[in-house]
Amino acid sequence: MKTPGEPDWAYKPESSPGSRQIQLWHFILELLRKEEYHDVIAWQGDYGEFVIKDPDEVARLWGARKCKPQMNYDKLSRALRYYYNKRILHKTKGKRFTYKFNFNKLVLVNYPFIDMGSGRGVPQSAPPVPTGGTHFRFPPSTPSDVLSSSEELRSPGMFSSVARRMARGSVSDCSDGTSTNSELEEAVGADERGVGPERAFRGLLPPRLPHDSLFRVYGGGPNPAGLPRPAPRVHPEPLSPFSVSPLPGPGGLLAPTLSPALSMTPTPHLSYTPSPSLSSPMMGSHFSFNPEDMKHYLQAHTQSVYNYHLSPRAFLHYPNIVIPQPHRPTLEKPAAHHLHGPPLPLSHSLSQQSGGVDEGQHPSPFKFKLQPPPLGRKQRESGSSLAASSSSSSSSQSTSYTGSAHLNNSGPPKIKVEPISDIESEEEVEVTDISEEDELNHIDEEEEGGIFTPTARRNRHQLNNHHQANGNLRGLSAPPHTSPDEDDDEDVFKTPATPPIGGGGPAFPLLNLKSEPGQAAPISPGGTRCIPLKLRFKRRWSEDQKMEADGERDEAEDKKVRADGEEEMEEKREEAGRRGGEMENGRGGGGVILGLMLPPPPTQRRASSELQRATAQLSLENTSC
DNA sequence: CTCGGAAGCC
DNA sequence: GGCTTCCGAG
């Protein structure tokens, strides 16, 4: 029953956050969102960056959760390091016990309603993400559930069901599973009574939203038009890229919960953002839920980090959605700008692209897995030889975009956009094919989204090449040369977005370019590859910039604030990602991930708090062991 | 401290 | 697959 494209992992219950087999990163997220543990581990620094203040304690907690009394930081950190290759995390160099989630590309859109931060304390660095496992329990535990998951989304029941699950408590104890959680429980417990989780959810969402509704919600529905939102981008700190969720008000149904990520997304440059959002006075008139929005939304989900092991599938299928080719409406500007954000960040690009391509075709986009192929340093070093060959060859086919993308990026980071065509193929390919071509794609993916296919793995070394590839892509073969090193990896992380200036536009826009006719008609039908992407980008970019103006500025500032070598790069990318999430291949097929778009920081998360509480129960630790 | 290979467990 | 455990190296 699973659709062809869907990856197995999507179904895996075990990996789900709430499941017994909680994964370390879920656990970390969980701890991060609990105020109780702020002394032990907390967000700090920029996006997704967190510091383990008390390594031993974190290890202890982890050990407790996993019933591994022997756990210690050394081991835990090994596990964390293990995520480097998966692109889930990376180390913040120079800072002890400091790691950073790769939210950049990963959009946490899924499970939007999950709010992350419970604590108000949540900082700045906290991602707007749903944190922790607690919340996301979506992943069905059983196959049947899985199936249902999709249903859940659409049906009214979904939330409730979710809530129920949550209520049960995900954390299990080692022993039977029945036990509840200890520490957390208490904390949460009290609140919960007041509002049951279910209630909370329901409150958030109207009981029976058709899926349409949901989307609407996300899209813009949330804020009642009137919410006065604080200035969206107030964000003052560099740290808070993720801003906290913008939740609308308390009563809001959804809003809050709904993905902050989505809503927040500034998407400045998405030009055509559909922002239906209410808030904008201009458009406020009616928000109609556009297919685009949905699309965006869906896509976002697709890409979201959480997809990792969660099952996004649900989102995938929306056959009906047809995306018009968008184009950027210049007019509105993303109004979203501010607050609400439609989900779009990614989408636009995606939508356009995918719209055409993907969606229609395959619903299941998610092919991407986070795992990248890690090569060991050694391997890389030694491996260089291998790498060269395959990568180069593959490129040729890639569609124009790909190549173009590279070109653009060539400078600094490498970004790559997948070609649409590839995408499709990719889906299938992912696992199976590994032809040379694929390799390129994969590589690209890695850079962008961090998705890796098996193939990629093998050729990790090739990654080294990618740089070259980028340059060469269009061309074709990449020269062998390796420049491995950690930098690469990092680059990879960063890579995704990179827009030159603020706009991430360029890179992503590639896609748009395609679709956008209005502008410079950049692409001529046939020769996409040949076309001077740069020019296109440039134009596009300029437009975007105009549009983005506000948003960008902010971001720029943020960047300034920080300025660390690498980090800067990353951030840039990140930003790009956010803004431009567009680029990534939207098609789902590929797995691209996108940047998350983070939005401005609204602040409220009251509603969310309820959720949190509800979820809180889930518990972090089981003492039962 | 941090990294990552290798082996092993579930 | 996702760690856990151990460990040598930087």
Give the model's pLDDT for residue A103.
Answer: 76
Is the CB atom of residue A379 positioned under 7 angstroms from any atom of strand B? Answer: yes
Residues in chain A: 625
Is the CB atom of residue A53 positioned under 7 angstroms from any atom of strand C? Answer: no
* Closest nucleotide to A380 by C1' from CA: B4
Is the CB atom of residue A199 positioned under 7 angstroms from any atom of strand C? Answer: no
Cα angle for residues A616, A622, A625 (degrees, 5° grid): 175
Q: Whose CA is nearest the C1' atom of nucleotide C6?
A: A75
pLDDT in tens, A335-390: 333 333 333 333 333 333 333 333 333 333 333 334 444 444 444 444 333 333 33
Q: How far apart are CA A157 and CA A290, in angstroms?
A: 23
Indicate the helix (H) or strand (E) that contains A148: helix A143-154
Task: Give distance CA A608 / C1' B1 (Å).
Answer: 37
Give the model's pLDDT for residue A48.
Answer: 85
Cβ–Cβ < 8 Å for A187, A617: no
Q: Whose CA is nearest the C1' atom of nucleotide B4?
A: A376
pLDDT in tens, A13-72: 444 444 557 889 999 999 998 999 999 999 988 878 999 999 999 999 999 999 999 999
Q: How far apart are CA A206 and CA A167, in angstroms?
A: 19
Give the model's pLDDT for residue A561.
Answer: 35
pLDDT in tens, A120-178: 345 566 665 443 333 333 333 233 333 333 333 333 333 333 333 333 333 344 543 33
* Residue A102's pLDDT band (cuts 50, 70, 90): confident
Cβ–Cβ < 8 Å for A594, A107: yes
Cβ–Cβ < 8 Å for A242, A124: yes
What is the torsional sign of CA A526, A530, A536, A537?
Answer: positive
* Closest nucleotide to A77 by C1' from CA: B2
pLDDT in tens, A417-467: 333 333 333 333 333 333 333 333 333 333 333 333 333 333 333 333 333
Is the CB atom of residue A71 positioned under 7 angstroms from any atom of strand B? Answer: no
Give the model's pLDDT for residue A469.
Answer: 34
Q: Mean pLDDT across chain A, nearest whole number?
A: 43
Structure tokens at A574: 């990140």
Backbone region of residue A213 per phi and psi (left: phi > 0; alpha: psi in -120 to 50; beta: other values): alpha
Task: Give distance CA A521 / C1' C9 (Å).
Answer: 55
Please give the model's pTM, rounded to 2 decimal places: 0.42
Is the CB atom of residue A78 positioned under 7 angstroms from any atom of strand B? Answer: yes
Give the model's pLDDT for residue A359.
Answer: 34
Question: Distances from the Cα of A464 to the Cαs of A366, A382, A403, A411, in angstroms?
Answer: 25, 12, 17, 15
Q: Which residue has the higher pLDDT, A83 or A560?
A: A83
List chain B nucleotides near protein: any atom < 7 Å from a Cβ. Answer: 1-6
pLDDT > 70: percent of chain A: 13
Give the model's pLDDT for residue A419.
Answer: 33
DSSP state letter for A101: E
Give the model's pLDDT for residue A22.
Answer: 87
Whether A518 has a pLDDT exceeding 60, the answer reads no
pLDDT in tens, A255-302: 222 222 222 222 223 222 222 222 333 333 233 333 333 334 334 433
Q: Whose CA is nearest the C1' atom of nucleotide B5?
A: A376
Cβ–Cβ < 8 Å for A32, A44: no
A570, A576, A578, A579: CA torsion to nearest 10: 160
* Nearest-10 crossing angle of helices A377-395, A436-448: 120
Helices (H), A16-91: 24-33, 55-66, 73-86
